[in-house]
Amino acid sequence: MIDKKHITNRFIQYVTIDTESDPNNPAFPSSEKQWNLAKVLVEELKQIGMKEVELDKNCYVMATLPGNIEYQVPTIGFIAHMDTSPDFTGANVTPQIIENYQGNDIVLNKEKNIILSPDYFDDLLQYKGQTIITTDGTTLLGADDKAGITEIVSAMEYLIQHPEIKHGKIRICFTPDEEVGKGAHLFDVSKFGAEWAYTMDGSQIGELEYENFNAAAAKITIAGKIVHPGYAKGKMINSLLIANEFIAALPSDEVPEKTEGYEGFFHLHDLNGNVEETILEYIIRDHDFDLFEKRKNFIKKIVTDFNEKYQQEIISVTIIDQYFNMKEKITPVMHIVEVAEDVMKNLGITPLIKAIRGGTDGSQLSYKGLPCPNIFAGGHNFHGRFEYIPVESMIKATEVIIGIAEKVSKRS
């Protein structure tokens, strides 16, 4: 159905374009290089025959596949993001293609002894006999979410080339800055004009998600006082040591590496400091809204307690909500999840319906009036050097998009 070599080449073309976003830049998009992929996509969408192809001033790419039926059905959408995570470099990506993978260790970088092993990443064993695309161990791959882009473009191309497959009007969008939490901020839901949409931004084959974390970012600033160490007694305040105390005040077992499923966490992802000032940056996550609020309040209480202990305003905190659990918005329209579930089953894919331990553009879009469950894009180990994707999973995701388009055209 989908040409394997064609989809592989398309994916590799996208991942070799650096689109890393910048969490410290308030501009939109946060990095100029995201425009490079956006412009490539605009030209490719025009070339394959998409209509109303547009790149707006905020780096959103939108396009339309007109319906080929004479009766009205809901307009649906498919969405993926163009940027890659700033957690690990996305510059100079060098993909490696492993044909007919047999469950062995994959040497990503012989010189640096970087190995992708099923002994550690046992999900690899699901893909014996398949074609695996990996990094060279020095960058991330960018399957998050260039796999989603690949699948959407490939599905649109296939539908254009096969007009015998009936479908209603389909809208697609590729967004910037999802990885820094801004991907949906300037998304024009009205202009997009879909009744509902799907983000192609999940991980392993079969994932289908309509729940996600409630999310906030916390910035803790600790003020110290530097004095010559030879004369420091009773005068120096070492912000680094107070930062260590603060970190220890949070529950040590409520961190990403020790939680799963619906369990929330506090994640210290950045620490920068010296004696005079230390800044801790956390993300706060929980699926349950009340527990989410308790986590934010717990951080605030620790700050208050420390300031009382040191009898001065030695710590300040800023907490910013990032997104909320889309379950509240999806539950009233569960048929849109059931459509995707039925299509997966018809394709022989076992749906893995579970909560996202993260978020997508879809969580924000759902609160903006565009219900938007999340479907697998096929990649594993996002945001790091061990990222990989089976080509067969991308093909299946592409088939799911085509299947949804066809199924919606048959709904009364």
- In the residue annotation, 83 being an active-site residue is answered as yes
Choose the catalytic residue: 83, 157, 209, 399. 83
> What would the two tokens of residue 53 be?
């192809």
Choose the catalytic residue: 18, 144, 178, 392. 178
Within 127-230, residue ranges assigned H as helices are 143-161, 189-192
Within 275-320, residue ranges assigned H as helices are 289-309
> What would the two tokens of residue 51 be?
């209509």
- In the residue annotation, 288 being an active-site residue is answered as no
Asked whether 183 and 361 are in contact (CB, 8 A), the reply is yes
Instruction: List the Cα angle 40/406/328 in 5-degree steps.
Output: 85
Asked whether 205 and 393 are in contact (CB, 8 A), the reply is yes
Rg of the chain on CA atoms, in Å: 23
In terms of C-beta density within 10 A (0-12 exposed, 13-18 middle, 19 or more buried), how is residue 375 classed? buried
Cα 147–chain centre separation: 11
**In which element (H, E) is residue 244 found?**
helix 239-249
Q: How far apart are CA 365 and CA 20, in angstroms?
A: 22
- Provide the β-strand partners of residue 84: 20
DSSP-derived pairing of the beta strands 388-390 and 96-98: unpaired
Active site residues: 83, 178
